Structure 1
Amino acid sequence: MEQLEFFQLQSPCRGICQTDNRGYCMGCMRSREERFGWLQLSPTEQRNVIRLCRQRMIRKIRAERALAAENKSGEQTPPQGELF
């Protein structure tokens, strides 16, 4: 049985309506289908989309941090020259 909803869930849109190379919005991390069909989704489906968006954002942030750490570590350790 689905729980009754008293308030409509707000769209996760942040007003940054550009897509990345994977097709997700760079602001809210929704796919094209999730953005265009938001109003037709049930509250349960909307909560699921929001959960997926959070997971996508966490993965994106982790990947960016790993890339930054990799670039930073590469710059800090120059190749060792000959000692003799």
Structure 2
Amino acid sequence: MSVSDKVRSPCVSVCALDENDVCIGCHRTGDEILRWTQMTNDERREVLRLVAKREEKVAL
């Protein structure tokens, strides 16, 4: 698998975890951030699905 085939990180270089251990920049948990490089593309897609839900909550 080439680098271009991998699901890209949602990191936006605004790195700070809130009181719920969720990054205020990319909306991943601390654990998701730490494990990102070892995840499969399917696992990464699932994280991105969860990130989208977390972003929706913040927007409300």
Scaled by the length of structure 2, the TM-score of the pair is: 0.89
Number of the residue aligned with 2:35: 37
Q: Which segments of 5 or more consecutive residues in structure 1 lack a partner in the other structure?
A: 1-5, 63-84
The separation in 2 between residues aligned to 1:57 and 1:32, in whole angstroms, is 16
Number of the residue aligned with 1:48: 46
Which one scores higher on RCO, CA 8 angstroms, separation ≥ 6? 2
Written as runs of structure 1 = structure 2, the 5 A alignment for 1:68-79 is: none
Of all paired residues, the percent bearing the same amino acid is: 32
Number of the residue aligned with 2:55: 57
Q: Which amino acid aligns with 2:26?
A: C
Scaled by the length of structure 1, the TM-score of the pair is: 0.65
- Specify the structure having the higher radius of gyration (Cα): 1
CA-atom RMSD in angstroms: 1.1
> Is the counterpart of residue 25 in structure 1 residue 27 in structure 2?
no
Aligned residues: 57
